[in-house]
Amino acid sequence: MTIKDVAAAAGVGVATVSRVLSGRGSVSPKTRDRVLVAVRELDYRPSALGRSLKLQRTGSLGLMIPDVTDPFYAALAGGVLACARTLGEHVILDVGHDDTAREAEIVERFLEQRVDGVIAVPAGGDDAIWRSALRAGVTVVFADRGLAELPEVPAVLADDRAGVRSAVEYLVGLGHRRVGLLGGPASGAPGTPVLTAREEGFRATLRDLGVPVDDDLVVRARPSRDSAYAAAASLFQRRPDVTAVLAAGHLLGEAAVLAARELNLRVPADVSIAMVDDVPWAELCDPPLTAVARPAADMGYRACEVLLRDPARRERGRPVVLPTELVVRGSCGPPAGRSPRG
Amino acid sequence: MTIKDVAAAAGVGVATVSRVLSGRGSVSPKTRDRVLVAVRELDYRPSALGRSLKLQRTGSLGLMIPDVTDPFYAALAGGVLACARTLGEHVILDVGHDDTAREAEIVERFLEQRVDGVIAVPAGGDDAIWRSALRAGVTVVFADRGLAELPEVPAVLADDRAGVRSAVEYLVGLGHRRVGLLGGPASGAPGTPVLTAREEGFRATLRDLGVPVDDDLVVRARPSRDSAYAAAASLFQRRPDVTAVLAAGHLLGEAAVLAARELNLRVPADVSIAMVDDVPWAELCDPPLTAVARPAADMGYRACEVLLRDPARRERGRPVVLPTELVVRGSCGPPAGRSPRG
DNA sequence: GTGAAAGCGCTAACAT
DNA sequence: ATGTTAGCGCTTTCAC
């Protein structure tokens, strides 16, 4: 079924069919109807392939996230889908697993597909991919993480520094003096400074509040559940004097909760726990976890908007920074110390 | 940058370039190199549009799930992506939110995009969409839910009945006699018999075990958090004598946990809770929740395989049924009764 | 081994 | 108001 068949069936030229279907140009009501009838009769569906080829525009955008299974990125993807829908675009999704080689393949594919734009949560450490995309003429927008090497690529970020600050201020306000940070790129490519904003925010806030920063309380995990758990458990064991810990991501928060439970530490009686990323389980935990909510869906939505309808913002490469919110629940309380080994 | 430019730059015909790039046909090593050099020089990337148009095959498949944000469907999507990757396809993702009108739009778009196939978790109640897709010649595979009206569409399902059975047997084995079911389409379109397999499995198992089925203990919620919570809370309040409850989905499980907590019911001392779907938070709960694990990622992977490389299986419409597994954690114990109103 | 040319389905400029 | 046609970028016969 092609436009030709419809034209033949309706006894008109292909241009006319195109005109009635696209609504552009003028056609007499009579012929319009004839065409419409033929379309229904033949169950005709215009091929996006033909159109895209002609128009040099596919109506599709590529979305690359590290992992669909991660509730944060899933929410981000949801935001992108919502926005894309309102703008009449569809989205090609793929997961890079923070592996630059894989990311390169994915972006390459996006380019071959001639997507109208790309939204990506980049692993970092591979500006080559993105430069190549830029050279090819696709517009790229980063979400959740920006790349310092590529200031020309607009980014939509959460205000991590402020988020961490609010959490640390809350903890210190509760009376904590020895608060640990469970950090490191629990998500993010190995070796990249992805999460340093959080660690920096942590240190800066402590400093501002006049609380001494104990480097021994700042631990970094590699981006795996095992590593996160090991980091959390070792922190709790090595330093029975920590009264509060801030996890710089939901994987790390999960590890903290699990490790505390395993070591029979009561939360918040023995140790207070807070984390960055207000994922759904935070509320189901017992006690429910205090968390810094980053607007994942909004970030996705916004990134899509910037990509598709904000050329102005796109030009000047200043990132869009969205606010975070501290959601206080029951996992933090005043410090009470604990006997060594809980 | 088109194939023409490359041909010109290399001083050959476009056919030769095509041959080199596709690896089909024969070209002398000399010309091959010349072409390859030109390709790199010009940073040429073949357009999937042109190729797809010619080949009548896009290398893409449409994936429609109710919600990316739902950990179960996110995992399913992950499985599809993994399989698609190995088969060299890319996936266009969209979310239907169990709204048939929206589903229709999405499928329509898939068809216009000329996807090679569609994987969908259908809301049900709209076979028109799917018949139209079938008529258009696209292969469709359902995942997670099948449509009775469309037995000709292959489906990849979890063995819900067996899963529920294992949970009920476990509960009854623990000594429970008054076990409630939190059911209804907590996910699934309103009014569809989507979850009835679980309810049926529940009743059948109880019957087989010689435990009387109390209809009053079987409650159905609409697919929203609020409705699920209301159903759970009202069950607990109305029937202080229930000693165990099986939630037929993770949204319902969440509601059960929250309601129990709100009503100060201790788990499992006052009431045992188990649920269908072993989502990540089940392990983070306190106590960790016993759950029937359905292989979401496998289902996605399998659905993709069936779609792309199992024409045989596709023909005979028997669904692929994947096994579930009961993951026993700490949320269930022997019944102990509780004083009215917890 | 290589090139010319047809054609995939569509839109838009041009002609009528 | 409507038909004819070129051409979007590619693959693939078919000649040579």
B84 or A24, which is more confident: B84
Per-residue pLDDT for A239 more than 60? yes
Mean pLDDT of A214-234: 95
Per-residue pLDDT for B279 more than 50? yes
Interval B291-330: pLDDT, tens: 999 999 999 999 999 999 887 777 666 899 999 999 999 9
CA of B42 to C1' of C3 (A): 22
Distance CA A321, CA A311 (A): 17
From the list A74, A90, A257, the residue facing B68 with the nearest CB is: A74
Distance CA A120, CA A97 (A): 12
E strands in chain A: 60-65, 90-95, 117-120, 139-143, 155-158, 179-183, 218-220, 244-247, 272-276, 290-293, 320-322, 325-327
Interval B20-54: pLDDT, tens: 999 998 999 999 999 999 999 999 999 999 999 99
The token pair that represents A200 in the structure block: 């920096």
Per-residue pLDDT for A155 more than 70? yes
Q: Collapsing DSSP states into helix, strand and coil, what is residue A141?
A: strand
Per-residue pLDDT for A74 more than 50? yes
Per-residue pLDDT for A315 more than 60? yes
Q: pLDDT at position A311, please? A: 78
Task: Give which of A113, A265, A285, A329 to mutate to test B binding, by max B Cβ within 10 Å.
Answer: A113
Mean pLDDT of B259-282: 96
Mean pLDDT of A175-184: 94
Run of H or E residues at B92: strand B90-95
CB pairs under 8 A between A and B: 125
CA of B311 to C1' of C5 (A): 36
Q: Is the CB of A53 under 7 A from strand C?
A: yes
Q: Smallest Cα–Cα separation from B148: which of B127, B162, B163, B119? A: B127
Under an 8 A CB cutoff, do B284 and A254 touch? yes
Q: pLDDT at position B114, please? A: 98
A248 or A188, which is more confident: A248
Q: pLDDT at position B156, please? A: 96
Distance CA B182, CA B270 (A): 17
- Residue B59 region, left (φ>0) first, then alpha (ψ -120 to 50), else beta? left
Query: For residue A213, with 0-12 CB atoms within 10 Å meaning exposed, 13-18 middle and 19 or more buried, which class applies?
Result: middle
**Pairing of the two strands A90-95 and B90-95:** antiparallel
Per-residue pLDDT for A173 more than 70? yes
> Chain B, 78-97: which have a CB under 8 Å from a chain A CB?
78, 81, 85, 90-95
Per-residue pLDDT for A214 more than 90? yes
Distance CA B62, CA B109 (A): 9
CA of B26 to C1' of C1 (A): 7
Crossing angle (nearest 10°) for helices A127-136 and A100-112: 10
From the list A52, A71, A284, the residue facing B254 with the nearest CB is: A284
Q: pLDDT at position A342, please? A: 38
Under an 8 A CB cutoff, do B53 and A58 touch? no
Distance CA B249, CA B246 (A): 9
> Scanning every residue of chain B, which has its alpha carbon at the shortest distance from the alpha carbon of A90?
B92
Run of H or E residues at B156: strand B155-158
- Is the separation of the CB atoms in B326 and B289 below 8 Å? no
Distance CA B126, CA B150 (A): 10
CA torsion sign, B226 to B228 to B232 to B238?
positive
Under the banding of pLDDT at 50, 70 and 90, the label for residue A341 is very low
Contact list, A81 vs chain B (CB under 8 Å): 68, 93-95
Q: Is the CB of A148 under 7 A from strand C?
A: no
Q: Smallest Cα–Cα separation from A146: which of A117, A124, A163? A: A124
Distance CA B116, CA B104 (A): 18
Distance CA A292, CA A4 (A): 58
CA of A304 to C1' of C9 (A): 29
**Cα separation of the two ends of chain B:** 73
Q: Smallest Cα–Cα separation from A114: which of A54, A161, A28, A168? A: A54
Distance CA A205, CA A169 (A): 7
Other C-beta atoms lying within 10 Å of the C-beta of residue A140: 25
Contact list, A91 vs chain B (CB under 8 Å): 92-94
From the list B53, B69, B92, the residue facing A90 with the nearest CB is: B92
Across all residues in chain B, what is the average pLDDT? 93
Under the banding of pLDDT at 50, 70 and 90, the label for residue B341 is very low
Per-residue pLDDT for A267 more than 50? yes
Mean pLDDT of A202-225: 94
Note if the bond before B287 is cis, omega within 30 degrees: yes
Percent of chain A having pLDDT more than 70? 94
Nucleotides of C under 7 A from a protein CB: 1-5, 7-14
Nearest nucleotide to the CA of A47, by C1', is: C9
From residues 19-78 of B, which are strand D contacts by CB within 7 A?
Answer: 19, 21-22, 24-25, 46-47, 49-51, 53-55
Q: pLDDT at position A197, please? A: 83
Per-residue pLDDT for A313 more than 90? no
The token pair that represents B20 in the structure block: 């080199």
Q: pLDDT at position B285, please? A: 92
- Is the separation of the CB atoms in B79 and B304 below 8 Å? yes
Task: Give which of A21, A112, A279, A289 to mutate to test B binding, by max B Cβ within 10 Å.
Answer: A112
Mean pLDDT of B96-104: 97
Q: Which of A78-82, A153-157, B173-177, B191-195 is predicted least confidently?
A: B191-195
From the list B69, B91, B286, the residue facing A78 with the nearest CB is: B69
Q: pLDDT at position B272, please? A: 98
The token pair that represents B316 in the structure block: 């005979």
Per-residue pLDDT for B282 more than 50? yes
Per-residue pLDDT for A217 more than 90? yes
- Is the separation of the CB atoms in B193 and B184 below 8 Å? no
- Is the separation of the CB atoms in B78 and B297 below 8 Å? yes
From the list B49, B91, B283, the residue facing A49 with the nearest CB is: B49
Task: Give which of A86, A92, A103, A284 to mutate to test B binding, by max B Cβ within 10 Å.
Answer: A284
Distance CA B294, CA B277 (A): 6
Count the residues in chain B: 342
Per-residue pLDDT for A339 more than 70? no
